[in-house]
Amino acid sequence: MHKNSFTFEKLNEWSKHTMVAHLGIEFTEIGDDYLCGKMPVDHRTHQPMGLLHGGASVALAETLASIGAAMQVDLTKKACVGLEINANHVRSVRSGWVHAKAQALHIGRSTQLWETRIYSEEDELVCISRMTVAVIDKK
């Protein structure tokens, strides 16, 4: 599986019985070097004060960046694993959906760098995250 062979059906199949499905993350757009998705802001993704949990934002960012990275390699020979992720939480959200786009900043042979921007339904920046991904040989 490499680049253009990714479909919404395949992404949804991968997500079954995972945190991705539990959090209600849905994929909305697939591009050559980006992946978009959305996540509900509800009881699954709230922190105790009723706001979007920062960890849920990071889970959304890592989901999109990790799968985006996997889209860049031959998965019969390579695997993509997270090395580091950071996030800046800019604005709170109480309900509705957040929308995100993970975009490749660097696609190398052994590392990739992805930036994910998460927005509210009002198109306000909620979180910005960067993730470094290692591309490793499958055993």
Q: Which residues are catalytic?
A: 62
Dist. CA 68–CA 46, nearest whole Å: 25
Q: Which of 40, 58, 55 is nearest to 94 (CA)?
A: 40
Q: Which of 88, 90, 95 is nearest to 124 (CA)?
A: 90
Dist. CA 56–CA 71, nearest whole Å: 23
Environment class of 91 (CB within 10 Å of its CB; exposed 0-12, middle 13-18, buried 19+)? middle
- CA 113 to chain CA centroid, Å, is 13
